């Protein structure tokens, strides 16, 4: 780990020449890379990215596998649903990857140093992790960015899946928000989606109709088995969570980087919200999922992976 408490001074030493930064920000289009993210990050120009969102492996010590299924109503079905209706389960396929690291922080550190270098002066990092590693990762991020650059720990809470009978069931993820400059960063408070008041009668009809700003605890369901969003990729995150982050911490035309891109949800959110993106992943199954999600989308350059009908290099 970095032994630096000088507000990210070690990371700052790795910036590229200033002359490269302004021109490069206007040249980057939507790109999807297949490969190890570290050498790819090291080739990108400094201060060229407005927002970084990453959802790295959580170091669960397991091989992550998700089987994609479809349920249809059938009298001979193997499942019983609402009102006693029976459903048949069809297995559509499965996707998997290893989530085991001997030195997790050693794996993350050089990549987070690069994320710091790549962020524009007004840029923001959202680091998505779970309860197993969040404490150690926050200390590492404090050393890279500086403790004063820590803005929020967002709790994404959901209520789905199995429940342990030996402990309080874990039903949340942690998202750490850091900025390059705590005195100057993008936060579009008026653009953020609003949520209903729990007691709308206490606030009056005008406020009730407008809703309220979310807090640092976000209640949002996971991607359901039969959801239209479902790709079958392990650990796919909901588009609603990504769109809230992108809306709040970037502007139209800004460049968003996700170097643990997985199923490509960050890119989908960027396309819907008018942002540009760079996605990186070293799992061929992830690239196959992204090829399906972005099929027919123009202005995407594929590097290292040639999906049908794309401009791969």
Indicate the number of domains in the chain: 1
| Residue 9 domain-assigned (yes or no) | no
CATH number at residue 125: 3.40.50.150
Confidence class for position 307, pLDDT limits 50, 70, 90: confident
| Residue 304 domain-assigned (yes or no) | yes
Mean pLDDT value across residues 211-231:
88
Range(s) of the domain holding residue 192 = 21-312
pLDDT of 310 reads 52
| Residue 97 domain-assigned (yes or no) | yes
| Residue 53 domain-assigned (yes or no) | yes
Mean pLDDT value across residues 210-219:
96
Mean pLDDT value across residues 200-217:
94
| Residue 14 domain-assigned (yes or no) | no
| Residue 32 domain-assigned (yes or no) | yes
Mean pLDDT value across residues 207-213:
94
To the nearest whole percent, how much of the chain has pLDDT over 70? 75
Distance between CA 191 and CA 210 in Å, rounded? 12
| Residue 11 domain-assigned (yes or no) | no
pLDDT of 74 reads 67
pLDDT of 77 reads 65
pLDDT of 100 reads 57
Using a 10 angstrom Cβ sphere, with 0-12 exposed, 13-18 middle and 19 or more buried, the burial of residue 185 is: buried
| Residue 1 domain-assigned (yes or no) | no
pTM attached to this predicted model: 0.79
């Amino acid at each position: 780990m970095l032994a630096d408490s000088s507000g990210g001074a070690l990371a700052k030493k790795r910036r590229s020449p200033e002359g490269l930064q302004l021109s490069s920000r206007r040249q980057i289009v939507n790109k999807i890379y297949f490969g190890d993210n570290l050498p790819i990050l090291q080739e990108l120009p400094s201060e060229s990215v407005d927002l970084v969102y990453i959802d790295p492996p959580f170091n669960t010590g397991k091989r992550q596998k998700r089987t994609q299924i479809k349920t249809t109503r059938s009298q001979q079905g193997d499942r019983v649903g609402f009102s006693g209706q029976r459903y048949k389960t069809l297995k559509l396929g499965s996707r998997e990857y290893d989530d085991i690291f001997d030195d997790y922080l050693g794996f993350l550190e050089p990549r987070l140093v690069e994320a710091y270098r790549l962020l524009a002066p007004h840029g923001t990092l959202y680091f998505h992790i779970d309860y197993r590693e969040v404490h150690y990762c926050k200390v590492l991020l404090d050393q890279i960015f500086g403790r004063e650059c820590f803005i929020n720990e967002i709790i994404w809470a959901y209520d789905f899946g199995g429940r342990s009978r030996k402990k309080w069931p874990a039903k949340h993820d942690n998202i750490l928000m850091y900025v390059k400059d705590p005195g100057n960063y993008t936060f579009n408070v008026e653009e953020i989606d609003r949520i209903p008041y729990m007691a709308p009668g206490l606030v009056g009809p005008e406020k009730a109709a407008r809703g309220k700003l979310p807090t640092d605890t976000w209640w949002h369901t996971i991607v359901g088995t039969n959801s239209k969003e479902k790709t079958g990729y392990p650990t796919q995150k909901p588009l609603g969570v990504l769109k809230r982050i992108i809306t709040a911490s970037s502007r139209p035309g800004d460049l968003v980087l996700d170097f643990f891109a997985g199923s490509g949800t960050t890119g989908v959110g960027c396309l819907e919200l008018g942002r540009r993106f760079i996605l990186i992943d070293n799992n061929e199954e992830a690239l196959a999922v992204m090829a399906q999600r972005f099929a027919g989308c123009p202005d995407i350059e594929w590097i290292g992976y040639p999906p049908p009908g794309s401009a791969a290099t």
